[in-house]
Each structure stands twice: as C-alpha cells, then as structure tokens.
A = this chain, B = another copy of it.
Amino acid sequence: MDKVRIGLVGTGYIGRCHAIAYAQLPTVFNLQDKIELEYLAEVNSELADKRAKEFGFRRSTGDWRSLVSDPSVDVVDICTPNFLHKDIALEAIKHGKIVYSEKPLALTASEAEEMYLAAKKAGVKTLMGFNYAKNPTSQLAREIIANGEIGEVIHFYGTHNEDYLANPSTPIDWHCYKHLAGLGALGDLGAHIVHMAEYLLGSEIEKVCGDMQTVISQRPDPKDNNLLRRVENEDQASALVRFKNGAMGTLETSRIACGRKMGLTYVVTGTKGTLSFTQERMAELKLYLHNDASNRQGFKTLLTGPEHPDYEAFCISSGHGIGFNDQKAVEIRDLIEGVLNNKLISPDFYVGYHISCVLESIAKSAIERSWIDVSELQKA
C-alpha cells in the first residue's frame, strides 16, 4: 500500500479533532500523497455532505454500512458515540478494514472481547484513540521510566477528572445512559488514565479494588427541564490497584470534579526518583532525582522541545508548545506509518479490550465491595 484511504464515521466532538489532525499531518510529518480523505459517514446524508465539505473528504454517506464495505476505504475511523463502536468495528473487520476506534472500545468488556477476537482472527490492524499517550511530554515520561532514571516504579497515582457534568442543572445526555455509553466517568475518562498508567509503567494492572458514586442521580431532560431523568452510571470512581510488576497504584476519575478542565494527571514514584504531570500543563514534566546532591535536590520542570519525542515535526524551538489536536496528529501518523510499512500499531484492540476489563473490574469491585483480579473478567 502506498497511500492510506480514510473512511471517517462520526463528526462530533472527537471526529472534528480527527479531521483537523488529518488536515495538518501530511505537512507536519511529510506525508503528502500518503493519505486520502476518501469517505465520510454521518447520521444522514445532508450532514455527511456538509461535514465532508468542511473536512475535505471526497465522498460522503448517510449510512455507515456503505462506508465500511467500500473498496476504496482502507481505514475505518470510528468517532461515533460509544454504543455504535461494536457494530461498526465488527462490520469493518468483516470487510478486512483496518479499524481505528475511539475509546472506550465498547459498552462492556464482553463486547470488547468480541471485537478484539474478531480483529485478531481476521488479522486486521487496529488502533485505539488514547491520544494523551502521544503527547511528547508523556512519551518523555515513559522514556525516563524505561531508562530506569527514577529506579523501579513503586507507586502510581493517576487521575482523569473533569467537570463537564458538575452542574446538576446540565441536562442529561448519552454519557449518562448505560445502553449508550456503558460506564460513566470510568468509561469516558477513566479509560485514559488506566491506559496512561500501563503505558508509562510498561506493566498491566492485575488487581483492583474500586469505589464509585452517582452523586447527581437525576438530571433534567434536554427538552423539558421539569422532567427529571435517572442517571444510570457513575459520576466519580476511585480504585486501589496492583500492577503485575508489584507496584501499588491509585486511580481516580470524575466528571463532576469542579475546576478540573483537563484533569489527566499522574505522579509516578520510583525507588530513585519521581515524575509528576498534569495535562493542563501539557508541555511540562516534573522530574525529581533522589541521587542529586542533598542540597541541590528538587523537582525539575522539563519543558518539551525538539530534543523530546515527536515534537520537532511541529516546531524546532523548545517550549513553543503543541496542542490537543497535535496529539491526534501523532496518533494518526503512527497509524499511517504502521499501515504503509506494515509495522505494529499501538495501542491496538487488545489494549482497548484489556482496559475495558480493568474498568469493568473496578465497577464490579465497587459493587461487591471487594478486590477483584482482572483475570476474572479478562479471559482472552
């Protein structure tokens, strides 16, 4: 293959971010003529047509089935609400497409398993949209850990907190229904911090003990403020975890955490040092090394620049900063290069499936009030 032809399904919030990434990445990564924005699907043909024009896609359709079966499409990029991931992915796999899906992979771990196994069986490449791991700053964190610069990791604290539903008068939306979203904060945000934890440590979560709450149990119907509808999934959740490498961990997630706008944060403690990060300052990584002279110890703020992974393509000066969509551009660059060079792409559907199992284990544990081995849920 010498050119990758993209079929995009869904153009809401994250679909638009994908479109911006597709637009700039040929220039950023010198991939002109390697990407074709081939086909775009939306809920109806009018919207599909409108978005195709806006996003620079050649063709459009109001029926995603037409897209996933189209011979001119190499990659099916799924940016729909969660409940559609499974059907689209399975159908795309059936047609031998490469599948690129936003998180969470599915509404439940068992659906995710089905998708993962289907892709595995079909031998198609897959990619999950865990874009925060593509941030040069978090790539740097992983590099520092992998180098052993902070010693052996003994503790991970991570959060993905936001406040998009903090206001009780915000109307209910699809995120709050199990049949449309699956889990609540865990699925929408927690997926990112679970992925980040495992990405950074290079070790999977093995055991979890969770707690969770639906704090705002009812929300107004979007069309009738006086009609209150039940919120079906959790607003906030926490978990103690153990990694396979023995490290302890604590994870927290919330969609009602006032003031946290992009609250993906982590503190990774090793035997010789510590890393600290918040995505709200996405260009800064704080690094502490215990072997520094005792009167010159402290957290050093590394500001990402061209000396760090995947920054230089955007700008050759340090500290000038890349943005949210640029992370997506790196992610899609990985996809394109993986396809063109027939290399492994990461994180794939196995990771998406595994993370679904971790998240569901946390939710189950919170209900059963006990520790759970992720292997109880993850059989594949």
Binding site for B on A (CB under 8 A): 13, 16-17, 19-20, 22-24, 26-28, 30, 32-33, 53-56, 140, 150, 154-155, 157, 162-164, 166-168, 209-211, 213, 215, 236, 238-240, 242, 248, 250, 252, 254, 256-262, 269-274, 279-284, 287-290, 294-303, 305, 307-308, 314-326, 369-371
Task: Determine if B27 and A20 form an interchain contact, defined as CB atoms under 8 angstroms apart.
Answer: yes
Residues of B within 8 A of A326 (CB): 323, 325
Contact A26 B27 (CB under 8 A): no
B residues less than 8 Å from A167 (CB atoms): 290
- Choice from B22, B252, B270, B282 contacting A321 with Cβ under 8 Å: B282
| B283→A318 contact, CB < 8 A | no
Q: A258-B290, A295-B308 are in contact. List 11 more A-B contacts (CB 8 A).
A: A13-B317, A20-B314, A23-B27, A154-B213, A166-B271, A167-B290, A236-B248, A258-B274, A259-B297, A322-B323, A322-B324
Given contacts A272-B258, A288-B259, A295-B307, contact A325 B315 (CB under 8 A): yes
A288 to B299, CA, bound (A): 11
On whether the beta carbons of A28 and B32 are closer than 8 Å, the reply is no
CA distance A20 to B248 in the complex (A): 39
B288 x A296 contact (CB < 8 A): no
**Once the chains are docked, how many angstroms separate the CA of A19 from the CA of B261?**
31
Q: Are B248 and A321 in contact (CB under 8 A)?
A: no
- Inter-subunit contact B238/A319 (CB<8 Å): no
Cα A316 to Cα B261 with chains together (Å): 11
Known: A269-B258, A303-B280, A314-B325. A53 touches B24 (CB 8 A): no
Known contacts A269-B258, A272-B258, A295-B307, A17 near B242 by CB under 8 Å: no
Max count, chain B CB within 10 A of own CB: residue among A284, A287, A303, A371: A303
Look across to chain B and name the residue whose beta carbon is closest to the beta carbon of A24: B24
Q: Closest residue to A211 on the B side, CB-wise?
A: B240
Return A26 CB to nearest CB of chain B, in Å.
Answer: 7
